[in-house]
């Protein structure tokens, strides 16, 4: 590779931090925070200009946003990004799959809890009259199981 080329040898688009933020749908301060955390590499600053970010930075930001949408924390995303860089190693894919399965289990537990809440709320709308409606809030909680 030479010059400003991406992984496939195609020219990479260079952009300022503001343009990167706009394209990724995040704030400039979010990018700076990710740089401080090591989630996103900070490009070197040329002597006579602004730092520019390539397509790889945009790809990383989109990965982070999508993983956050799926419920992953930034710590978990950092681990996934490390595994992503090592994706050619078979064990990296297996480790990533294990993290995804663990997240899926966590989400299932949350869904089960929300289903219990929904069921209780439904019973409150039809099963109680007068003061007993308010007394129902003193009943069994998930912490009493």
- What does the radius of gyration of the chain's CA atoms come to, in whole angstroms? 23
Q: Which two tokens stand for residue 35?
A: 């740089």
Of 110, 111, 112, 135, the C-alpha closest to 124 is 135
Digitized pLDDT (tens) for each residue of the chain, 145 residues in all: 334 444 445 556 889 999 999 999 999 999 999 999 999 999 988 887 889 999 999 999 999 999 999 999 999 999 999 999 887 777 888 899 999 999 999 999 999 999 999 998 888 888 777 888 888 787 655 444 3
For the domain bounded by 1-71, which CATH number is listed? 1.10.1660.10
Q: Which two tokens stand for residue 38?
A: 């090591």
Phi, psi of 95 (to 5 degrees): -65, -40
- Among residues 68, 88, 90, which one has the least CA distance to residue 78? 68
Predicted pLDDT of residue 125? 85
pLDDT computed for residue 144 by the predictor: 42
Model pTM score: 0.75
């Amino acid at each position: 590779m030479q010059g400003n080329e991406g992984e496939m040898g195609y020219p990479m688009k260079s952009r300022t931090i503001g343009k990167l933020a706009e394209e990724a749908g995040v704030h400039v301060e979010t990018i700076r925070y990710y740089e401080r955390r090591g989630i996103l590499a900070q490009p070197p600053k040329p002597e006579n200009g602004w730092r520019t970010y390539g397509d790889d930075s945009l790809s990383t930001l989109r990965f982070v946003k999508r993983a956050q949408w799926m419920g992953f924390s930034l710590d978990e995303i950092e681990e996934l990004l490390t595994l992503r860089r090592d994706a050619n190693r078979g064990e990296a894919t297996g480790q990533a799959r294990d993290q995804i399965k663990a997240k899926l289990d966590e989400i299932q537990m949350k869904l089960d809890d929300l289903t219990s809440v929904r069921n209780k709320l439904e019973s409150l709308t039809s099963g109680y009259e007068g003061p007993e409606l308010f007394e129902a809030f003193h009943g069994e909680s998930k912490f009493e199981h």
